[in-house]
């Protein structure tokens, strides 16, 4: 996910990262739980459902800058998001 203060929807993030929804949405949920990501709903046009929107918090931006060169496997594996593997 590019560091940005702009709101993006999940499909847009998926296309930009190449991650499938089954991988992406759990990551987004963990990031939101850790306050690295803000979430909100965009009202849909009549006849279209609302979309869930995301953007990095200031802490999320700092996290992204610090881990920009880290291998994506490490980031996606949860260790960088504070998960303890048991």
Residue 85 domain flag: no
Look at the chain and report how many structural domains it folds into: 1
C-alpha 82/C-alpha 78 separation (Å) is 6
Q: Which domain holds residue 59?
A: 8-77
Residue 23 domain flag: yes
Residue 86 domain flag: no
Residue 83 domain flag: no
Residue 42 domain flag: yes
Residue 3 domain flag: no
* Per-residue pLDDT reduced to its tens digit, 15-70: 998 999 999 999 999 999 999 999 999 887 888 888 899 999 999 999 888 877 65
Which regions of the chain does DSSP assign to beta strands (E)? 8-9, 37-42, 51-56
22: CATH: 1.10.10.10
Q: Are 51 and 41 in contact (CB under 8 A)?
A: yes
Question: Which H or E run includes 68?
Answer: none
C-alpha 1/C-alpha 13 separation (Å) is 6
Residue 28 domain flag: yes
Residue 12 pLDDT level (bands cut at 50, 70, 90)? very high
Residue 46 three-state SS? coil
Q: Are 27 and 39 in contact (CB under 8 A)?
A: no
Q: What is the pLDDT of residue 85?
A: 45
Residue 56 domain flag: yes
């Amino acid at each position: 996910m590019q560091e940005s203060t702009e709101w993006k929807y999940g499909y847009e993030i998926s296309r930009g990262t190449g991650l499938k929804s089954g991988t992406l949405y759990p990551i987004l949920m963990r990031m939101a739980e850790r306050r690295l990501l803000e979430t909100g709903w965009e009202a849909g046009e009549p006849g279209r459902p609302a979309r869930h929107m995301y953007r990095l918090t200031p802490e999320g931006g700092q996290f992204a800058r610090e881990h920009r060169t880290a291998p994506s496997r490490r980031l996606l594996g949860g260790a960088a998001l504070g998960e303890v593997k048991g």
